[in-house]
A = this chain, B = another copy of it.
Amino acid sequence: MAATGASGTNAVRYGTVRDNVLNLEVVLPGGELLHTAGQGRHFRKSAAGYNLTGLFVGSEGTLGLITAATLRLHPVPEATVAATCAFPSVQAAVDTTVNILQAAVPVARIEFLDEVMIDACNRHSNLNCTVAPTLFLEFHGSKQALAEQLQRAEEITQYNGALNFSWAKEAEERNQLWAARHNAWYAALALRPGCKGYATDVCVPISRLPEILVQTKEDLQASGLTGTMVGHVGDGNFHCVLVVDPEDAEELRRAEAFAYQLGRRALALHGTCTGEHGIGLGKRKLLQEEVGAVGIEIMRQLKATLDPRGLMNPSKVL
């Protein structure tokens, strides 16, 4: 996770891995052991020299091998409530997300699933959700603070024409909900047994999220591809999970073209081609568009300096 700069459903409240790594132990290409913040150090903030921790988080193993990480911890919340909410349209679900964030409701999780994804989760994980664009939410805090957060969130969902708003107060029910969310990938794959998954990962400013989600939904329907939409919409980040026949070269090309077009659309909206999965091999061209020639040149110089013989995860990222 640290090597990829990963995140997940809790990032909207608690930050990504990047925000929660205080120190890394890294084996450098020459064999030296680096402690990015100094050996044994763990503090909430520092202004001491260059931010080596931040440089190695998300470097995808291309600068050194991470062998230990010191993480920031957050208090376990006093109380937790989850909720699901179905909407008449993708637009209404995403407008709700933007409104909740703008109203400063300190939501702990806010996840979008389109109706194809919900249908797949219902079947794969024995849920009984309305088949419609849906938000899964979670709230953390004191009991009193939770009641207020829930009330505000529910008001916003009603304002946006929600079809229902259903609480999951018991731990068992909550766990079932989040297990279903975390198994969404496998639920999508089960739509076409024997086929392979292909995930996109764009992230845009929250204000641009409604337009890209609505447009992407239309593109996905027009593409003829089998695919679901699911995402950490509180961060402006979402995935299309395309389910592709690996024997069908034409379909695979169509999936790649769809993913590339989506990446370029995110870039046009001031976004990034990858919110949490990284560049790897597949997004090297999009990275060039994203950061520009000067940015790529600086990244190449950093790579050449720290790994002059090109030993670490060769040809990834750059």
Binding site for B on A (CB under 8 A): 4-7, 11, 16, 18-19, 28, 32-52, 54-55, 57-59, 63, 74-75, 77-78, 102-104, 106, 142, 144-145, 148, 201, 203-206, 235-237, 267, 270-279, 283, 286-287, 290-292, 294-299, 301-306, 317-318
Sample (13) of A-B pairs whose CB atoms are under 8 Å apart: A6-B47, A35-B295, A38-B267, A38-B292, A41-B271, A45-B236, A48-B283, A49-B290, A49-B291, A49-B299, A50-B302, A52-B295, A144-B148
Neighbouring B residues of A292 by C-beta, 8 Å: 35, 38-39
Neighbouring B residues of A235 by C-beta, 8 Å: 44-45
Are A51 and B57 touching (Cβ within 8 A)? yes
> Taking the nearest CB of chain B, how far is it from the CB of A136, in angstroms?
19
Neighbouring B residues of A103 by C-beta, 8 Å: 75
Are A55 and B50 touching (Cβ within 8 A)? yes
Residue of B nearest to A147 (CB): B144
Are A43 and B305 touching (Cβ within 8 A)? no
A46 to B286, CA, bound (A): 13
**Which of B36, B44, B74, B203 is close to A44, meaning CB atoms less than 8 Å apart?**
B203
Are A306 and B295 touching (Cβ within 8 A)? no
A54-B54, A306-B301 given; A274·B104 CB < 8 A? no
Are B55 and A51 touching (Cβ within 8 A)? yes
A155 to B220, CA, bound (A): 55
> Taking the nearest CB of chain B, how far is it from the CB of A300, in angstroms?
10
Neighbouring B residues of A16 by C-beta, 8 Å: 45
Of listed A4, A18, A103, residue having the most chain B CB within 10 A: A18
Are A48 and B290 touching (Cβ within 8 A)? yes
Are A270 and B41 touching (Cβ within 8 A)? yes
Neighbouring B residues of A43 by C-beta, 8 Å: 203-205, 236, 270-272, 275
Are B46 and A274 touching (Cβ within 8 A)? yes
**Which of B18, B148, B273 is close to A145, meaning CB atoms less than 8 Å apart?**
B148
The 9 A-B pairs with the shortest beta carbon distances in the complex, nearest first, are: A54-B54, A75-B104, A46-B272, A5-B47, A38-B291, A305-B305, A47-B278, A38-B290, A47-B274
Residue of B nearest to A53 (CB): B54
A294-B34, A298-B34 given; A51·B42 CB < 8 A? no
A40 to B50, CA, bound (A): 24
Are B49 and A295 touching (Cβ within 8 A)? yes
Are A59 and B48 touching (Cβ within 8 A)? no
**Which of B6, B38, B279, B318 is close to A295, meaning CB atoms less than 8 Å apart?**
B38
